[in-house]
Structure 1
Amino acid sequence: MSVIIERKIVFFLCRLAVGLLALVLIVGTVIPLLHSNAWWVRIFDFPRVQIALLTGLTLAGYVALRLYGSLGGWDYALAALVGLALVWQLISIAPYTALYPKEMSASRAEDDSNRISLLVFNVLSDNRDVAALRDLIRDTDPDIILLSEPDQWWLEQLDGLEDDYPYTLLQPQDNDYGMLLYSRLKLKDPEVRFLIDPAVPSFRAQVRLRSGSLVTFYGVHPRPPGIERPDEEQDSSREKTAGEEGEDGDRVDSDVRDAELLLIASEVKELGSVPVIVAGDFNDVAWSRTTHQFQRIGGLLDPRVGRGLLNTFDTRSRFLRYPLDYAFASRHFLLAELHRLPDIGSDHFPIFAVFDYNPESLSENDPPQPDAGDAREADEAIEEGKSND
């Protein structure tokens, strides 16, 4: 075989490989635009940064191919579509860069009587490095500690924490959805609630700041889309379908997660002018349709906007990392600090946030405004989540 023929074959194979990658990235960009709660649709919400990086490399691949040979019409068509996909992905993630205007203004207050600091951390139920967590609590000295995924072992190992954090809300569970709340600030009317999923708790309490002001606090950790259904739910699903496999198999769709988040957002809206903080492992990315709708309905600010991604999951992969853990706040607050803390043994990084309650900040912060159909869509999503649970 001549050298010329070999080069033509190699060039064709390179065009084919780049073309196939382009098709995958185009489909991966389009799928999240579908108005569907199916898990295989919603998981494409997550890798926008990764898809943006790969689309950029694909465009570079087309440029390199053009330098070494001629391209066909389908090559240029795919390159154009990949370019559009890149623009769309960059638009989606641009708010979570330092180049974008900040959604929550920075605090300049010196008085800490209206300040509240939070440590938000998914401990990973089978993680056993409790000493690292205790060290982190000592170093950060937060007012409130919200832990996701703790079981009874974690509760026992954290025995004595109540000496410094006398106000607690404790719901350890063995299904990876337990939560523990420790606070040095007084809690009023603390409650554990099972809003949508009877196996997944959420917290609500009023927190009394040092100044005496009350802040409504929500702690959340809904199920993510795409995970395997618990055995008992699989059995129930099979009974309902007379032994036939469901359309989405034995994996969890996003309807229950979305319903819980939108139900909380609706509650926040009903509270009116009350200062609110919602924190926890949302199992959703900041740029998803659900999280944006959650913010718009609740009028909640994301301190990440204009400051950075602060990816918290997964500590075990540098490439596949997403922002899943949050502390959203109403427009009554200014941001004093926001940090992603070091890896301490979980698959999540801890998040540390410090907010200043300042009623005068209402004029400084401009929360997302609800769209015309948000309330109706939220009601439909909540009803769907309740019926599908």
Structure 2
Amino acid sequence: MPRNGSVPPRQGGLFGASLSCPDIDNLPLIVEPQGGIEVLAPGSVYQPLLLSPRDDTIDVGPGKLDEHEEAFVRDLIRRLHPAGNHPRSSQTPLKWGQREIWLKRNIEKRDDSFRLRVDDSDWFYPDFIVWIVDYETRTQVFGFVDPKGLSLGAGGGWSDAKVVCTLYMPHVVERQLAASGQKVEFAGQTWTFRVRGVLVSTSSLASLSAQAKFNVRDDEGRNASPGEADFGRARIVFPKSGTSYIDEVLHLLWHDSSLDHLLAVSATLFDHSAYFAPAGEVEHDLALRHREIAHSESDFVAAVVGDYLKPDAAGHYGAWVSKNRRRQLMDYASVGKWGLGGEKVPDIREHPTPCEELWKRKQKAGELGGGTGER
């Protein structure tokens, strides 16, 4: 609200026009109740969305949008309704094909706001909830987007709390919901419900790629800088001129990346009440990691992302993992453990399922310990 109360505040509108107390039927708009400046965005279940004023004599809060958050709201509406035919009511959703999108401002440090944390990190409050509803497939995605997600980079790299909360913690939340027996039902039918997130980085691709803590492994186990597609699989998007990046944001909220199965399995491994029997190479590798070294969840996720994010030339993920597990099998054979002294090296070097085989041999030797719920 105004500090001096003498001059009615005026501000550039969400779409560039200078507005002051416009007609309420013309959304999105700026209004000025008792000196406050607010944006009513279509499809927003939290009203108002507050813009930062261009006048330093005016205070706005709580939850005012900074320039990156304001740009995201504007770009989302423009991308979904490029002809300017966006809904004219705050109670009418945005449309993405046949799907509905409801936008909610997630205000930091409010008891009723959505928040996540991992290990002993501070709470992470994403800037927006982007709730996507598809009546045809009876699917709801509780999406969250942070448009200034990596404004100062991420000091922890892949183990940074905000990155881990976006990539991994939605799978933890889904496990907790399933364990509590909660279901999403509408009109007598059960719906699929997922939680997914996206970070929109205001740090450049070049600056993040140059950080050693964002290095990934290539198929020979060497450190490599991730490219834009790699960051995308890790749910980090870089905005470009125009609104095209919105397509990638919505795609990542709706569709799982190659990492999501791995992270869902990881959430199971850290769930001490869960029973887990690995199946397939990836699950055996993750189970081995969980038993071999004591990890925090953040460090575990960072190691998995580093090893599985970048595909090899054939488009396969985790090629280095398989090579490394075969090397470990060769080490066991070379010292004659478990009666394998006469085993031919080529048979191990070319073993089709090295992670599963290593799991079996370590389990037989009693080297895996007693991890919770695993067999």
Same fold (TM over 0.5): no
Flag the structure with larger Rg. Answer: 2
Structure number with the bigger relative contact order (C-alpha 8 A, sep ≥ 6) is 1
Query: What is the TM-score with the length of structure 2 in the denominator?
Result: 0.29
